[in-house]
Amino acid sequence: MQHFYINCDRLHKLYFMKKLTYLTFSLLSVFSFAQEVSKERIQTVLSTLASDEMKGREIGTAENENAANYIAKLFKENNLEYCTGNSYLVPFTYKGKTAYNVCGIKKGKTDKYLGFSGHFDHIGTSNNSKDNIYNGADDDASGITTLVGIADYFKNKDPKFSMVFIAFNGEEKGMLGSKAISTDKNLDKIYSNLTALFNFEMVATESAFGRNALFMTGDEFSDLDELFNLNAVNDLKINPDPYAAQQLFYRSDNVSFVKKKIIAHSFSTVDMTKASHYHNESDDINIVDFDNLTQIINNFGKTVEKLSPENFSPKYNNSVKF
Ligand SMILES: [Zn+2]
């Protein structure tokens, strides 16, 4: 009888060990799965922002406010903290009414911040009888999806840099939201520690440099691209701006922060020689390359995970005009 009990006990132990191993492996797979942002998540976020219900997200409309609230909901899902006050929505005045930027924070191991931004407003509707909605899937639901994706990526991580995520409003009416929030005194504590701002503008398509690649506006003004590429994971590449003559560096929301002498560039994949959808009703989700976008977002997250105030401290050179 005694013998039997020992055997039984051993069997039990063996079974327990097997179970434990199984449990460990499934936990590991859950964890590695959690590290990757899924294509389905990217599709959900981008398609919601670019849906016909959002009616082109023009500033001053109810749909623009719906978009702001949707982004706030996504920030909450990622356990981000408020940038200021008791809401992700940071108000400013537009034509005598209140409009909102959306801002959230992820605290890292240090007080130094990296910023990730894009603009969620677009140009509303048109009189086109076939399709009267400017869905703005590329411009700039793709940019907002990218910053939300990066927040997703870091949800259960403890990065070295703290991070601030800002969805600007009113870009299409003259960068109104970024002008307002960049001069909001309540955020000075963040701005004085902001190492660099990555502003995403139109990242829905494959770039002229191929897949898994972006270009950076004003690349000649700082060493951000060099420092980033040194740490880049899975061959993600930031390329020089092929459209430098168009001065895109001075024409997007990053410029509101350049004025504060903060390192701030825009990152894009748009191929200007092919982008017939630019400010057209055809800027719809069917032009989005979700495989490429998902790859870029995950590789961006993995690269940012390697960055620290020690290996990433980009500087402007003398050629930039503040
Ligand atoms: Zn636009």
pLDDT tens profile 253-304: 999 999 999 999 999 999 988 999 999 999 999 999 999 999 999 999 999 9
**Cα-to-centroid distance, 80 and ligand 1 (Å):** 27
Indicate the average pLDDT of the chain: 92
Long-range contacts of 285-290 (CB under 8 A, 24+ apart): 285/46, 285/47, 285/50, 285/135, 285/137, 287/137, 287/138, 287/204, 287/205, 288/46, 288/137, 288/138, 288/142, 288/204, 288/205, 289/204, 289/205, 289/206, 290/39, 290/42, 290/43, 290/46
**Cα-Cα-Cα-Cα dihedral sign, residues 156, 298, 142, 246:** positive
- State the residue range of the domain holding 295: 37-306
- Are 211 and 195 part of one and the same domain? yes
**Cα-to-centroid distance, 278 and ligand 1 (Å):** 7
**Cα-to-centroid distance, 102 and ligand 1 (Å):** 18
pLDDT attached to residue 86 = 97
In a domain, 318, yes or no: no
Of 230, 72, 233, 99, give the one whose Cα is nearest residue 166. Answer: 72
- Would you call 313 exposed, middle or buried from its count of C-beta atoms within 10 A (0-12, 13-18, 19+)? middle
Predicted model pTM: 0.89
Q: In sequence order, which residues have a C-beta less than 8 Å from that of residue 114 and are 6 or more positions away?
A: 161, 162, 163, 164, 194, 195, 196, 197, 198, 304, 307, 312
**Cα-to-centroid distance, 142 and ligand 1 (Å):** 12
pLDDT tier, 23 (very low <50, low <70, confident <90, very high otherwise)? low
pLDDT attached to residue 2 = 42
- Are 260 and 119 part of one and the same domain? yes
In a domain, 311, yes or no: no
In a domain, 312, yes or no: no
Q: In sequence order, which residues have a C-beta less than 8 Å from that of residue 153 and are 6 or more positions away?
A: 35, 36, 37, 297, 298, 300, 301, 302
In a domain, 274, yes or no: yes
Tokens, residue 22: 């199984």
Question: Is 262 within 8 Å of 193 (Cβ atoms)?
Answer: no
Of 306, 289, 308, 263, give the one whose Cα is nearest residue 145. Answer: 289
- Are 24 and 73 part of one and the same domain? no
pLDDT attached to residue 1 = 42
- Are 61 and 194 part of one and the same domain? yes
**Cα-to-centroid distance, 272 and ligand 1 (Å):** 13
Instruction: Please state, in angstroms and rounded to a whole number, the distance separating the CA atoms of residues 80 and 168.
Output: 17
In a domain, 316, yes or no: no
DSSP class per residue in 121-170: ----B---SS--B---IIIIIHHHHHHHHHHHHTTT---SSEEEEEEES-
pLDDT higher than threshold 70 for residue 24: no
- Are 18 and 122 part of one and the same domain? no
**Cα-to-centroid distance, 266 and ligand 1 (Å):** 13
Strand partners, 213: 237
Q: What is the pLDDT of residues 212-259, one digit of tens each?
A: 999 999 999 999 999 999 999 999 999 999 998 899 999 999 999 999
- Are 5 and 105 part of one and the same domain? no
- Are 51 and 77 part of one and the same domain? yes
* Tally of domains within the chain: 2
**Cα-to-centroid distance, 311 and ligand 1 (Å):** 34
Residue range 85-108: mean pLDDT, rounded: 98
In a domain, 320, yes or no: no
**Cα-to-centroid distance, 180 and ligand 1 (Å):** 18
**Cα-to-centroid distance, 252 and ligand 1 (Å):** 9
Q: What is the pLDDT of residues 162-187, one digit of tens each?
A: 999 999 999 999 999 999 999 999 99
Q: What is the pLDDT of residues 136-156, one digit of tens each?
A: 999 999 999 999 999 999 999
**Cα-to-centroid distance, 120 and ligand 1 (Å):** 10
- Are 13 and 66 part of one and the same domain? no
- Are 193 and 81 part of one and the same domain? yes
In a domain, 315, yes or no: no
**Cα-to-centroid distance, 172 and ligand 1 (Å):** 5
In a domain, 236, yes or no: yes
